[in-house]
Structure 1
Amino acid sequence: MDLQKYLHRIKYDGALDATLATLSKLHRAHVSHIPFENLDIHYKQWISLDHDKFYAKIVDRKRGGFCYELNGLFYEVLQTLGFETYFIACSVYIQPLQNFGPYFAHVALVVEYKHEQWLVDVGFGSSFPEPLKLEFEKPQKLDGVIYCMQRINDTEISLNRSFDDGETFTPMYKFTMKPRKLSDFQEMCTFHQTSEQSPLYQKKLCSIAKSNGRITLTPNHLIITEDNKRTEIEVKDEQDFQQKLEAYFGFQMIAQNQS
C-alpha cells in the first residue's frame, strides 16, 4: 500500500503519529472524501476480501465501497501508522423489522490507545465522523448527532444515536469486543452480493458525508442535505444516474464496465 497516495485520496496532510488526534482527523477525512457505495453488487463486479483490491478500487480508481472494503482499507492504514487495532463483528439494526440482523453483516474496528478503547467505523452508510470512546451510558455529541453505547448483556454492546435532544435514541448496530479476522466475514460478504434478503442487494446506493450535511444517490433520487435542509432531485433513468454519479462522486460505473 502506498500510504501517500491514500492520504492524497482523502486530502489529508496532517500529522501521522499514532495519537488520538491523528486518528480522529484521519477518520473524518476518510468519510468526507470516500463514499459508501454498493454499486459493484448491482453491476455484477465481484467483491473479494482482499486488501490489495480494496486499495486498487478506492485509491487508484477513486471509488468507494461498503463496510468490508472501507474498514478493511482503514485497518491497513492504521496498522501502517502504528495504531493497535482489530476487527469486530457487528449486527445492524433493521428499522423496518424493528430488530437486529445477523452478526458479521457489518465490520467495524476497535483502536486501543493509552489504555482506552475507541470504536472506529468509516464503513457504515451514515457513520459517525470521528471515533467514539468505548464507554457506557455517556452521550457523545458529534456534528449535532448524539451517540450513546449501552451494554445489552455480558458480551454485547449496542450503539445508539439521537438526532434531536438526546432523549429518543435509535439503535445503529450491536457488537461484541472479540477480535476477528477479515476472513471471518467471507460468508456475509457473499450473502450481501447474492441474497435478496440483503439491503445492499436490494437497491444501489452511493453516499458521502459533507462538512454541513450529506449527499446520497439512489436509483430514484439525488438527496442533498445541507445545514439540515433536505433537497431531493429526481433521477430520470440510468443515463441520468450515471451523470449524477460522475458530477457528485467523480466516477461512472458504465465507463468502468466497458474498459
Structure 2
Amino acid sequence: MQLIDIGANLTHDSFDRDRDAVLARAREAGVVQMVITGASREHSPMALDLARQHPGFLYATAGVHPHHAVEYTDECDAEMRALHAHAEVVAVGECGLDYFRDFSPRPAQHRAFERQLQLAAENGKPLFLHQRDAHADFMAQMKNFDGKLGPAVVHCFTGERQELFDYLDLDWYIGITGWLCDERRGAHLRELVKHIPANRLMIETDAPYLLPRTLKPLPKDRRNEPMFLSHIVEELARDRGEDVATTAANATAATRAFFRLPDAA
C-alpha cells in the first residue's frame, strides 16, 4: 500500500528534535511521498529547503495562510514568486479565507488570497486551499478567476454537505484528515466522504495538528505525524464501504495526477 500525505507541516518546531525519525517512521508505514505545507513567509522557504534535502520523497507548497495575511506585501509576493521557480514547489498555498479565528483582518485576507490566485493563474500550478467559516466570500473570490486556474484542492475539508457539493460541482479535489476521526466535530464527515468521487479524494495528516482521536494508544505528546496516515485511510475506507487497498490506491493516483508527481523511487 503506497500512501501520499498531501499536507504535513514538517517545518513546525515540534519536529526539530526528531524530523529524520519522523520521516523514517512514515516510510515504514507506507508513506512513499509527502507534500510539505508552506503557509507563511517564514515557513514556505523552509518547506522548499526540506523538499530539496529529500528529492523524490518530499515536495513543498509555497503560500501564505489567511492567519498570516497581513504579511503579504509586495516583497512577500516577490519571495513567493521566487520560491515557485523551483520544481520542488508543486502548488500555490496554503491560501484562502478563515473567518473562524480572524487572526488577520478580513480585508487583508481578501487581498492576500487575491494575489495568490493571481500567482496561480500566471504559473499554472495547482491551488492548495484553506476555507473555514467563509464559504460565500471564498467562492466569490474563486469565481473571479473562472477559467484562469488549474486544479484546486480544498485541504482539510471539515465543512457541511452544501460546501462539499459546491466544490465537487467545480471538479475540485477534497483533502480528508484525521478530523474524520473526531467524534465531537467530525462525525458528519463519516457520511459525506461517501459522496467524494475516487478521482477527487486525497488524504493528509496536517501534522502535527489533528491527531486522529481513534488511535489506540494515543501518543503521549499528542503530536500527529505522517505515519498515522495509514490509520486515516483505514477509517476512510470503512466509511466509504471500500477495501483499504482500493481507497489508498485511488487517493495516491489522484494525488499524483493533481500535483504532477512522479512515481516514488
TM-score (norm 1): 0.31
Higher strand proportion: 1
TM-score of the superposition, structure 2-length normalised?
0.30
Determine which structure has greater relative contact order: mean sequence separation of CA pairs < 8 Å that are 6+ residues apart, divided by chain length: 2
